[in-house]
Structure 1
Amino acid sequence: MDELGVRAAALVGRRPRDARLRQVGTSRAGLPLWLLSVGHGSRQALVVAGPHANEPVGGATALRLAERLLADPRLCDGADVTWNLLLCVDPDGSRRNEGWLSGPYSLGHYFRNFFRPGFLEQPEWLPDGADGAQLPETRALLALQEELRPFFQCSLHGVDVGGGFVELTRDVPGLAPRLAHIAARLEIPLELGPYDTLYWPTLGPAVYRIPPPRRGDLVAAITEAAVESTWFHPHRYGTVTAVVEAPMWGVAAVADGSAPADADGVLRAVSRTLRRDTELLEGLLARIRPGLAAIPDVDRLLAPVDDYLLVCPGLADSWDPDTAPDTDADGGPRPLPPLNTARLAALRISGRRIALRTAGLLHQLVTGAGHDPSGAAADLDRLIDEWCADYHEGHEARWIPVARQVEYQARVVLAAFELVLRQAPAPLSGARPVGTPPVRAEVPFE
């Protein structure tokens, strides 16, 4: 977190006429929310980094974008656009992930140091509507959207294991082939059926339409992002929001659109595994819970654990062909869409992800307590090692270098921006056509 602010300030120091840095809010823990603005155009683009605490790529991408914007005036003043880069909207949660950010970049190290707040503490979600937003980070983002009324907004997310994809609040014709080209050049697998978009319309390979929010229970909100959000809040101003997901560990199978040999068999196995893992984790939580009272801020670590364990039984039932619903219920579970190999791989990865995140948070709770009379730490270490090995051996997950993650995400943002700009009203002043500058396939982050 400190590095983001220092590098942004250094950039402004080099180009004070073209870049500006201001504080637009304060986190619950008193950390500043920094907005880096580049250009002087009348139209506004907003890029939001760090909405999920365990997805740090967005901060680095924001800095990369700023450097690129300053190097090519066609992307700013030449297009009559000011870019506004919110360096991290959840600095408190991001600080809790700093235990793994410096490496080694192994799955075990990542999950043992993983943190992501409970659903109600994630700043992009508006389960009680914009007027009922409680988090200061959320209120700061909403105020920024009202101030800027951006024609284009990007939310920068990461995928710990899987592939890249884009979610849109409005269709952006031409994005899917651009995305495919960028991913192929940088050897990033694209998810042809991510769990996040399981029930959402497909606009093209790895490009999905975010449906308008609908009222439902908390489980539906957690599993489908079905509540109101800052993605849709500026929709009334004509804003196009693109959620750009970049993977850390890539899995080739998520890009396999072929028909599966035995979809029902895979679904039964995934559901059975999730039920078994949930029972193991519930038992471990029961063993360690009595000794957690003295841990500072224990509720923040327990909130996501409770969220995960809350949704697991319903997920297992909704994926299992023997228990899945035949018809959609308003606000409830719905039947699975047609499944290809990529979607099955995504479901397998998602079930394992929930278990690993829960195990990692429980591991932190045990180690934070300073004593382990129940002997749970050894069991959690064994499960984390076993489940990470499944990612490596069963899914062939491979680490994608940070520089390549950042380059991929920056290129996708610029591609979406160029296409959205073509749909936007003409600039107020004479502007040259916008274009994406040529870049190398991999540029070291500096």
Structure 2
Amino acid sequence: MLRLAERALADPRLTEAADATWNLLLCLDPDGSRRNEGWLSGPYTLGRYFRNFFRPGFLEQPEWLPDGAAGAALPETRALLDVQDELRPFLQCSLHGVDVGGGFVELTHDLPGLDRRLARIAARLGIPRELGAYDALYWPGLGPAVYLIPPPRRAGLAAAITEAAVESTWFHPHRHGTVTAVVEAPMWGVAAVSDGSPPADRDAVLRSVSRALRRDTALLRQVLTRIRPHLAGVPDAARLLAPVDDYLLVCPGLADAWDPDTGDGAAHPLPLLSSAHLAALRISGRRLALRTAGLLHQLVRAAGRDPAGALPELDLLIDEWCADYRDGCGARWIPVARQAEYQARVVLSAFELAGRHPRAGSGPAEPGVGVRGGGADAAGMTP
């Protein structure tokens, strides 16, 4: 964010010459960012990160509008909607951090040429591109590592969490002609997410990933059952339990959807999968387990006692699963300066391309750019 501000101030081609104003929202979710302070100052290790990571439960994430804009309850969400309706920017960029994987972009409207620019930026900075992003598993592709966010639709909570099947602040300004770009940058890069080749044995990998997710979910449910009775009176226990319950809600359905032997894919079949897709699914399944284990770890620590004896077990699980990321997936730390530079360059590319193309939506967009950090997910992205 600071890099973008410095460049906009230093380069008149980004402001006066383009007849554009840059509006920077440093953090959409300051509470979520504060709750990540346990890992933000480093050292940057997977174990430290997951033991201190926090992302709110789905209903407390300010980007989503499960009850529509009129029903937005969070003050952060209402403030953002007001800003969007007041400024009506032609481009909105939301900066996100991917803990493990690669970089990619999600758009509400195509920006032709962004995929080629993204490829050059990623190559120069040594950032793997995520060619089969789990977030966009069922979404149309606009080019390698660039995906089209589908229009919102009504669905249950599980689909809203796993498929973004819900109204959002990404789509809200579409009526003003705004294009939204969600720019995802990895903290730990994995080269395998850039492998677009056909997999050697798709079904074997899917079976392994789905079975691991079922096994991990069962272990974590048992731990939660043991510690939940001891959480009465623990400060903020409900805030930590909300995302735990979300993760444990969606894991069984995801495992069934990925498993080629369950038959659950008939109603919602998987797309044609590359090796990159399979790597992303493996990472995503492990991410769900690690985030849940880390939140349970925080709950026990917050309680100040461990009558259920859960902490040693959680430490073993977190260490084992982090080792799988590091040794099994080849996850490697990307310095924060490179993460930030990657996001800045992608935003500047989107800005240039958005200025060349007709506006989306039905209303007139103003000559402004909105850039915002996402809070919990983007907490590590500002150098």
Whether the TM-score (by the shorter chain) exceeds 0.5 is yes
TM-score, normalization by structure 2: 0.93
Question: What secondary structure is seen at the aligned counterpart in 2 of 1:244?
Answer: strand
- The answer to whether structure 1 residue 251 and structure 2 residue 190 are counterparts is yes
Q: Distance in 1 between matches of 2:297 and 2:236?
A: 15
Percent identity of paired positions between Structure 1 and Structure 2: 78
Count of residues in Structure 1 that have an aligned counterpart in Structure 2:
362
- Residue 177 of structure 1 aligns to which amino acid in structure 2? R
2:335 to 391, 401, 416: 401
Kept in 2: contact 1:193–1:206 (CA 8 A): yes
1:391 to 325, 350, 354: 325
Kept in 2: contact 1:151–1:424 (CA 8 A): no
Give the CA deviation at 1:327. 3.6
Q: Distance in 1 between matches of 2:69 and 2:119?
A: 35
Give the CA deviation at 1:271. 0.5
Aligned twin of 2:348: 414
Question: What secondary structure is seen at the aligned counterpart in 1 of 2:356?
Answer: helix
- The answer to whether structure 1 residue 358 and structure 2 residue 298 are counterparts is no
- Residue 351 of structure 2 aligns to which amino acid in structure 1? F
Question: What secondary structure is seen at the aligned counterpart in 2 of 1:422?
Answer: coil
Aligned twin of 1:196: 135
Give the CA deviation at 1:283. 0.2
Aligned twin of 2:147: 208
Question: What secondary structure is seen at the aligned counterpart in 1 of 2:55?
Answer: coil
Kept in 2: contact 1:172–1:420 (CA 8 A): yes
- Residue 14 of structure 2 aligns to which amino acid in structure 1? L
Question: What secondary structure is seen at the aligned counterpart in 1 of 2:89?
Answer: coil
- The answer to whether structure 1 residue 175 and structure 2 residue 114 are counterparts is yes
Q: Distance in 2 between matches of 1:272 and 1:166?
A: 30
Q: Distance in 2 between matches of 1:286 and 1:394?
A: 30
Q: Deviations over 1:113-163 (max 9, x none)?
A: 010000000001000000000000000000000000111110111100000
Q: Distance in 1 between matches of 2:279 and 2:100?
A: 11
Kept in 2: contact 1:324–1:335 (CA 8 A): no
Aligned twin of 1:71: 10
Q: Distance in 1 between matches of 2:110 and 2:94?
A: 16
Kept in 2: contact 1:219–1:310 (CA 8 A): yes
Matches within 5 A, 1:34-113: 62-113=1-52
TM-score, normalization by structure 1: 0.80
Q: Distance in 1 between matches of 2:265 and 2:200?
A: 22
Question: What secondary structure is seen at the aligned counterpart in 2 of 1:423?
Answer: coil
Q: Distance in 1 between matches of 2:302 and 2:89?
A: 43
Give the CA deviation at 1:414. 0.2
- Residue 27 of structure 2 aligns to which amino acid in structure 1? C
Q: Distance in 1 between matches of 2:264 and 2:347?
A: 38
- The answer to whether structure 1 residue 147 and structure 2 residue 86 are counterparts is yes
User: Structure 2: which 5+ runs fail to align?
Assistant: 360-366, 368-381
Kept in 1: contact 2:258–2:265 (CA 8 A): no
User: Structure 1: which 5+ runs fail to align?
Assistant: 1-61, 329-333, 426-430, 432-444
Give the CA deviation at 1:325. 2.9
Q: Distance in 2 between matches of 1:170 and 1:410?
A: 20
Question: What secondary structure is seen at the aligned counterpart in 2 of 1:180?
Answer: helix
1:227 to 166, 171, 174: 166
Give the CA deviation at 1:64. 1.0
Matches within 5 A, 1:361-380: 361-380=295-314
- How big is the alpha-carbon RMSD for the aligned residues of Structure 1 and Structure 2? 1.1
Kept in 1: contact 2:96–2:185 (CA 8 A): yes
Give the CA deviation at 1:73. 1.1
2:96 to 149, 157, 162: 157
Q: Distance in 1 between matches of 2:51 and 2:264?
A: 35
- The answer to whether structure 1 residue 288 and structure 2 residue 222 are counterparts is no
Question: What secondary structure is seen at the aligned counterpart in 2 of 1:193?
Answer: coil
Q: Distance in 2 between matches of 1:253 and 1:274?
A: 20
Kept in 1: contact 2:257–2:265 (CA 8 A): no
Question: What secondary structure is seen at the aligned counterpart in 1 of 2:264?
Answer: coil
Query: Using a 3 Å threshold, how does the CA distance of structure 1 residues 225 and 375 change in structure 2: closer, same or farther?
Result: same
Kept in 2: contact 1:251–1:396 (CA 8 A): yes
Higher mean Cα deviation, 415-424 or 131-140? 415-424
Q: Distance in 2 between matches of 1:424 and 1:407?
A: 28
Q: Distance in 2 between matches of 1:106 and 1:345?
A: 21
1:127 to 45, 63, 66: 66
Give the CA deviation at 1:326. 4.4
Give the CA deviation at 1:63. 1.1
Question: What secondary structure is seen at the aligned counterpart in 2 of 1:170?
Answer: coil
- The answer to whether structure 1 residue 263 and structure 2 residue 197 are counterparts is no
Kept in 1: contact 2:131–2:193 (CA 8 A): yes
**More relative contact order, 1 or 2 (CA 8 Å, 6+ apart):** 2
2:124 to 173, 178, 185: 185
Q: Distance in 1 between matches of 2:326 and 2:237?
A: 31
Q: Distance in 2 between matches of 1:142 and 1:294?
A: 35
Q: Distance in 2 between matches of 1:326 and 1:313?
A: 13
Q: Distance in 2 between matches of 1:348 and 1:209?
A: 23
Q: Deviations over 1:269-303 (max 9, x none)?
A: 10000000000000000110111012111100000
